[in-house]
Amino acid sequence: MNKLMLILLALSLLCPAIVLAKGDVNLTAPAKDQALTKLLMTRHSVRAYSDKALTLDQLSNILWAAQGINASGKKRTTASARATYPLQIYVMVKNVTGVDPGIYLYDPQNNKLTPVPKGEKRTSVVPDAVKQDWVAKTPAVIMISYSKPEKDLGDKTLMFVSVEAGAVMQNVYLMCEALGLGTCAVGGYDAKAAKEFFLLKPGEEPVLMLPIGIPAPAEPAK
Ligand SMILES: Cc1cc2nc3c(=O)[nH]c(=O)nc-3n(C[C@H](O)[C@H](O)[C@H](O)COP(=O)(O)O)c2cc1C
């Protein structure tokens, strides 16, 4: 390496801007003192859980983050194409203190859980619906489902629904991170079996599962 190359290398290490191509803009680092930055920095998928129960308060916060009514009084924690809110949030309660096991539907307007008829004591989504053993350990499993929005969104409907489900997913990940809980998106489920297990209504389709629990102490490295 000749002298000029060495000087250029040293300069590029000292001043990263020198390696920018014409027109590139160096961005600043994320603001470390922002609460949201900290959550985004540590957000990750958890697949190893302890046997501990969730509290009702923990579950309530997670469900509110998923689709709760925000400070506007009528809108939600996620954006929605033409404010159609086509998603439903079902939850299988297996081990939540003070809540009978079974399948429930989240009611955002009243911030409550409504038992789904015939869903009592349904507490294990494996193996028919999900062939991922770790899911069986989690004390609660959310299923995001969708039904055709009342307002016609045209041929982009499915795309918009998927985008909204992604927003729900991220809210749940971030609330889990904030509360010291864990989750992991599960798209690898059998749609027919999952639909039957969560007792979705006719016209509703499953989108994404989100098991929730307390991370195991020796959670494997990500
Ligand atoms: C739509 C979607 C479906 C996923 N399905 C599964 C799944 O079935 N099983 C699983 O273990 N992880 C699943 N994941 C989690 C990804 O594997 C995980 O997000 C990815 O490995 C990045 O790791 P991180 O979330 O810890 O950053 C899914 C993620 C998304 C967004």
Task: Give the pair of three-digit tokens for residue 33.
Answer: 């003192």
DSSP string, 128-161: TTB--GGGGG-SEEEEEEEE--SS--GGGHHHHH
**57-85: pLDDT as tens digits:** 999 999 999 999 999 999 999 999 999 99
Mean predicted confidence (pLDDT) in 4-11: 58
Assess whether pLDDT exceeds 70 at residue 114: yes
CB 186 within 8 A of CB 132: yes
Confidence band, pLDDT 50/70/90 cuts, at residue 128: confident
Residue of minimum CA distance from atom 7 in ligand 1: 186
Confidence band, pLDDT 50/70/90 cuts, at residue 129: confident
DSSP string, 31-88: -TT-HHHHHHHH------B-SPPBPHHHHHHHHHHHH-B-TTSSSBSS--GGG---EE
What is the rounded distance in angstroms from the CA atom of residue 46 to the CA atom of residue 185? 9
- Reference 45, options 151, 164, 169, 185; nearest CA is 185
Assess whether pLDDT exceeds 80 at residue 6: no
Q: Atom of ligand 1 at shortest distance to CA of 222?
A: 26
In the chain, domain spans: 31-213
Task: Give the pair of three-digit tokens for residue 171.
Answer: 């809210």
The CB of 188 under 6 Å from ligand 1? The reply is yes
**8-38: pLDDT as tens digits:** 556 555 555 556 799 999 999 999 999 999 9
DSSP string, 158-204: HHHHHHHHHHHHHHHHHHHHHHT-EE--B--B-HHHHHHHTTPPTTE
User: How confident is the model at residue 12, as a pLDDT?
Assistant: 57
User: How confident is the model at residue 44, as a pLDDT?
Assistant: 98
Best of 134, 186, 219 for a ligand 1 pocket test (most atoms within 8 Å of beta carbon): 186
CB 170 within 8 A of CB 40: no
The single residue listed with the structure tokens 């297990």 is 197
Best of 45, 133, 161, 210 for a ligand 1 pocket test (most atoms within 8 Å of beta carbon): 45
Mean predicted confidence (pLDDT) in 207-212: 98
Residue 103 Cα to ligand 1 middle (Å)? 24
Fold classification of 31-213 is NADH Oxidase (3.40.109)
